Amino acid sequence: MLIKQLAIIGVGLIGGSLARILRKMDACGEIVGCGRNLDNLEKAIELGVIDHYETDIKKAVAQADMVIVAVPLGAMANVFATMQDALLPDAIITDVGSAKGCVLEDAQKNLGTHYSRFVAGHPIAGTEKSGVTASFAELFTHRRVILTPTAETDKQAHEKVTQMWQLAGAEVVDMVVEHHDEVLAATSHLPHVLAYSLVHTLAEMEDRIEIFRYAAGGFRDFTRIASSDPKMWHDICLANKEAVLKILAQFNQDLAQLGQAIEQENSHEIMNIFNRAKTSRDEFNG
């Protein structure tokens, strides 16, 4: 058995789905959940996602050989600081945060001697829904999980976290932390910023009721991710600020170029932009 006792700090979509698949694969023994929302934790027990729960982080991790931290980025530092003197000497700690530079910094500052056994991770999987009721065992099937080990990362810890995600059905890749944050700013963080911004813009318009009434499938598809947890994405924007601002500036420049082409009725430029976008999207989707 890969994991004797798994502690999940934050039993939501990601943490709950990981618990489900590891249990299904008989990869772990006891699963302990930890969080502040008692209703969510009780539901996790009812659904069979966890075996029992604690609201005290120290108690939750005390006997765990693997700890998954699945909380918003803004809460990471406090979670690491709280658990560090309660961890078993050989416990492995990993996370599921969407930005990695800030998490590694928080871990280095707050995990003490356990920092070498921390393996920063990011499953590229999710939905716009949250909470343990949204979790399902197949969430990570054929999805990528990015790990960002450093020179200080314990090799055995890295290997065990890799095995855990592979058992969950994911393809695991290693990436330099700075590159991870730049790539994810472009492919994940920017789309969420745009979706939130578009819905906010339309919601502020006087005829918003009429606008939303006639919103078609394209609008629903594009803005689906604006139903994601606002707190989580607030933390991501601030935690990965530099990379998000860089890609946002590039997008604003390209959007202004398209706006100018429309204003000038530059049919050739409009078609070039649309054709390049369609070709790129079709290649990606294929």
Same domain, 185 and 166: no
Same domain, 54 and 134: yes
Same domain, 184 and 168: no
How confident is residue 106, by pLDDT bands cut at 50, 70 and 90?
Answer: very high
How confident is residue 239, by pLDDT bands cut at 50, 70 and 90?
Answer: very high
The CATH number of the domain holding residue 266 is: 1.10.3660.10
Same domain, 150 and 61: yes
Q: Which among 122, 146, 175 is the end of a domain?
A: 175
- Give me the chain's average pLDDT, please: 94
Which of 45, 56, 58, 54 minimizes the C-alpha distance to 19? 45
How confident is residue 286, by pLDDT bands cut at 50, 70 and 90?
Answer: low
Same domain, 19 and 117: yes
- Give the domain extent around 95: 3-175
Which strand (E) or helix (H) includes residue 146?
A: strand 144-147
Same domain, 59 and 194: no
pTM attached to this predicted model = 0.88
Same domain, 155 and 187: no
Mean predicted confidence (pLDDT) in 27-43: 96
